[in-house]
Amino acid sequence: MPDFSTILIALLLTLFAGLSTGIGAMISFFTRHTDTRLLAGALGLSAGVMIYISFMELMPEASEGLATVMSERTAAAAMLAAFFGGIGLIALIDWLVPADENPHEAHSMEELSDSGSHHKMKRTGIMLAMAIGIHNFPEGMATFISALDGLEMALPIVIAIAIHNIPEGIAVSVPIYHSTGNRRKAFFYSLLSGLAEPAGALVGMAFLLPFWSPVVNAVCLAVVAGIMVYIAFDELLPGAESFGHHHLSLIGVVVGMALMGITLVIL
């Protein structure tokens, strides 16, 4: 079982990733127009980091951990089952959220602030906060589990999750701010949606740590890889492409992969 300091660091990192929705809220208050080029590149970079670390680090490490108690072939099969189980978990959550409130559809600040009546805008913001909170719950568990395995693997994941939470904070705060004129309320709802990540970490800690073992760790890493790959392909890449800067998105993906690869070699 991980020691107390490791658990505390993992919780703090997950809290940081979740609270980055507040950064998105603050950006929306002081910026009139969305810098779509920057967002496209940043989302692409986050996707590159998640894809690379999932296939090059998390899945191989999960296979190695499982191979200590079973044959290599059985370990590979178990790893794949856990990987696709992670994809199935986040896909199920995605399916349960109504399509109209799904936070995986990227919008500019201009679109969000021009979405109809004040009442409709406020409802949109609150529903987005709830939907994002639901999506952030398993992301929090994934971030926490990766952090338990060491900072060199956790930090890139935390940064990638934080970057992808910034547009979500914008998506929540803009309609609420424009419908109420209340920055505090908009910031509160934006921050609340991000707090689902540390909540997910706490639930993961409560349920998993009493049974923690090398095998449980390996299975969790494979599940995390599945969640990360799904987020990258279902949310980050379509979000980056939606801003209309295809080549910037692709450059972001490649740079994210390269940075992740170089970081892992150095460390």
**Which amino acid, one-letter code, is at 61?**
E
Is 164 marked as a binding-site residue?
yes
Q: Residue 34: which of 173, 139, 135, 130 has the closest Cα? A: 173
Rounded Cα–Cα distance for residues 66 and 69 (Å) = 6
102, with CB counted inside 10 A (0-12, 13-18, 19+), is middle
Rounded Cα–Cα distance for residues 154 and 139 (Å) = 13
Is 217 marked as a binding-site residue?
no
Is 136 marked as a binding-site residue?
yes
Is 101 marked as a binding-site residue?
no
Are 102 and 150 a contacting pair, CB within 8 Å?
A: no
Q: Phi/psi class of residue 150: alpha, beta or left (left: φ > 0; alpha: ψ in -120 to 50)?
A: left
Q: How big is the chain, counted in residues?
A: 267
Q: How far is CA 66 from the centre of its chain?
A: 26
Is 197 marked as a binding-site residue?
yes
Q: Identify the H or E element spanning 50.
A: helix 36-53
Is 182 marked as a binding-site residue?
no
Write the secondary structure of 226-255 as one string of H (helix), E (strand) and C (coil).
HHHHHHHHHHHHHHHHHCCCHHHHHHHHHH
What does R_g of the chain's alpha carbons equal in angstroms? 18
Q: Residue 40: which of 249, 260, 250 has the closest Cα? A: 249
Binding-site sequence positions: 136, 139, 164-165, 168, 197
Binding-site sequence positions for Zn(2+): 139, 164, 168
